């Protein structure tokens, strides 16, 4: 390992220790970083999506108008999406979301066999709006104009940070502090960003450039 790579490895270890504890540093230092992609691996660890154990989403009684039902045999996540839906909501958006509900989380996944948060958001945007987004949660920031929480509209993007204070997770805003995303523990599901883990990690709100 050359001196330059060693320097950056040690600097990254210090950052990891400062932000997420020395367990992360020990894990980093015990890993053999002799490949050409060493730097990519280090950066990936800093921006890694964290495992978040979530309870099943329980829709509020008045969040939908009761006119929509999930397909027979649909997942609990799909039933929750149908429960919050009303006639005034964006039909094309909800139709694009429904086939993805309940798909398991898979880091690097891009299909309905398994999908990560940024690939899921990207798939929905391509289907609903015909817009191609950047691939990673952090890079999707380049696709948006940042807005205030009070300006949120259906389909806007929410950005969340991990314990390293790096943007590592994205989701799509629906209504009433509810968003849809690919959760590391629950797959594609609904969650709220006004309480619990997501309230602590919400970072920014964005409207994709060119979205109508």
Q: Which residues of 126-165 are buried (b: 16+ CB within 10 A; e: fewer)?
A: ebbbebebeebbbebbebbeeeeeeebeebbbbbbbbebe
pTM of the model: 0.79
Q: What is the pLDDT of residue 153?
A: 97
Catalytic site includes residue 22 = no
Q: What is the pLDDT of residue 95?
A: 97
Catalytic site includes residue 134 = no
Average pLDDT over residues 185-203: 95
Q: What is the pLDDT of residue 23?
A: 45
Q: What is the pLDDT of residue 35?
A: 56
User: For 24, how many CA atoms within 13 A lie in the half-sphere containing its CB?
Assistant: 22
The pair of structure tokens assigned to 209 is: 């450039």
Q: How confident is the model at residue 79 (pLDDT cuts 50, 70, 90)?
A: very high
Catalytic site includes residue 117 = yes
Catalytic pick among 17, 22, 134, 169: 169
């Amino acid at each position: 390992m050359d001196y330059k790579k060693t320097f950056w490895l040690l600097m990254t270890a210090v950052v990891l220790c400062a932000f997420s504890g020395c367990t992360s540093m020990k894990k980093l230092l015990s890993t053999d970083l002799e490949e050409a992609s060493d730097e990519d691996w280090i950066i990936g660890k800093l921006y890694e999506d964290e495992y978040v154990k979530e309870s099943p989403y329980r829709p509020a009684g008045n969040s939908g108008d009761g006119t929509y039902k999930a397909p027979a045999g649909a997942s609990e996540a799909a039933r929750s999406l149908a429960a919050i839906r009303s006639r005034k909501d964006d039909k094309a958006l909800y139709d694009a979301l429904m086939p993805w509900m309940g798909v398991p989380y898979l880091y690097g996944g891009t299909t309905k066999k398994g999908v990560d948060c940024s690939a899921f958001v990207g798939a929905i945007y391509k289907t609903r709006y015909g817009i191609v987004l950047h691939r990673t949660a952090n890079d999707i920031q380049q696709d948006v104009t940042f807005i205030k929480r009070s300006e949120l509209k259906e389909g806007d993007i929410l950005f969340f940070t991990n314990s390293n204070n790096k943007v590592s997770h994205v989701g799509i805003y629906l209504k009433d502090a509810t968003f849809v995303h690919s959760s590391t523990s629950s797959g594609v599901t609904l969650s709220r960003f006004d309480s619990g883990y997501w309230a602590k990690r919400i970072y920014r709100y964005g409207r994709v450039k060119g979205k109508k």
